[in-house]
Copies of this chain bind each other. A is one copy, B any other.
Amino acid sequence: MKILIDTYGADAGAQPIIDGTVKALEKRDFTPVFIGNDREIKLLIHDRIKNYEIIPTNEFVSNDEDPVRAIRKKKDASIVLAYEKSKEEGYDGVISAGSTGALLAGGLFLAGRIPGIKRACLAASIPSVNDEITLLMDTGANMDCKAEFLYEFALMGKVYLENVMNITNPKIGLLNVGVEEHKGNTLTKETYNLLKESNMNFTGNIEARDLLTGKVNVIVADGFDGNIAIKTTEGVLKTFASELKNIIYSSAKNKIAGAILKNDIKSLANKFSPDEVGGAPLLGVKSYVYKAHGNTNELAFSNAILGLINYIEMNVIEKIEGELNGN
């Protein structure tokens, strides 16, 4: 299996990308195809990988650029080269920690949408107290959505979970301001009706306070709201963890207590760490594409690659096509 790896776009540069790839190779066999600066990549690999390819380029799409325009103009940008290569036989998937907008634009204009799907979306795994698997989708690819887009997100989430995560008949919830059917804005009310009429296991609205309680397996939201929910979660966890740290370091007595609790608090932090998942599949496009976090590190990028491999092996794209054709 060959995985196309964009070495541009991570906050910390190419280092965590290469290190994460090395780490992933300890668990699974695949051929990394790095796209980026030839010399830097070789220096960073430093004999740690036997079989790999490089597609050399020094161009990339930054977060500040208009993604659609950049994808069209910058023919040698790393993400553009990744998408072009992904269409060739023998290249199985694309992973990038770079601009979400560029990844999405590339997905739509270079890879193309799965026939019948109107919008691609990012399906982020979020942690839950009861270890139930929950996907929040979309978490940032689509800003202004229609109800039919959200319906598609639910459908793709269902197929993904059934195949990649082995969940039978996953529970679908709609992110909303109240659990009652009449609650919400125009978008959620229309989406509620579509989901209610579907054959999916739709359990109704879910409030944002239940994001981490594992009540459902798919939380459907438009990309704006999903992004607000996931970044609020991230921010609150970070704030609470740092306040707790301040408490523990505030006195000699507290430091002793902190030392006792250290390991347990660490596993709690790990349970809710975004690094455990490391990324999210871009569902709805004809290539297997994974978005790694911009602030990725070795562990997170390694986990993202492993997630991508799983996604590829389960033939999810073919299965979404099958679901759309009623197979």
Residues of A within 8 A of B (CB): 63-64, 66, 129, 140, 143-144, 175, 177-178, 180, 182, 184-186, 188, 207-213, 223-225, 227-240, 242-244, 247-248, 250, 253-254, 256-258, 260-261, 264-265, 268, 272
Contacts and interface: CB of A to CB of B under 8 A. Distances in A.
Contacts of A207: 231, 235
Contacts of A233: 232, 236
Contacts of A140: 177
B238 A209 contact: yes
Contacts of A230: 208
Nearest to A265: B247
Given A143-B177, A209-B234, A233-B236, A182 B224 contact: no
Nearest to A231: B208
B225 A228 contact: yes
Count chain B CB atoms within 10 A of each CB in A144, A250, A264 and give the residue with the most: A264
B235 A247 contact: no
Contacts of A177: 140, 143, 223-224, 227-228, 231
Contact of A239 (B212, B248, B260): B212
Contacts of A238: 209
Contact of A213 (B63, B223, B235): B235
15 contacts: A129-B243, A140-B177, A208-B227, A208-B229, A209-B231, A209-B238, A210-B235, A229-B229, A240-B240, A243-B268, A244-B244, A247-B268, A250-B264, A254-B261, A257-B258
Given A229-B232, A233-B232, A239-B213, A143 B256 contact: no
Nearest to A65: B182
A101 B230 CA distance: 27
Nearest to A223: B177
Count chain B CB atoms within 10 A of each CB in A213, A223, A240 and give the residue with the most: A240
Contacts of A254: 260-261, 264
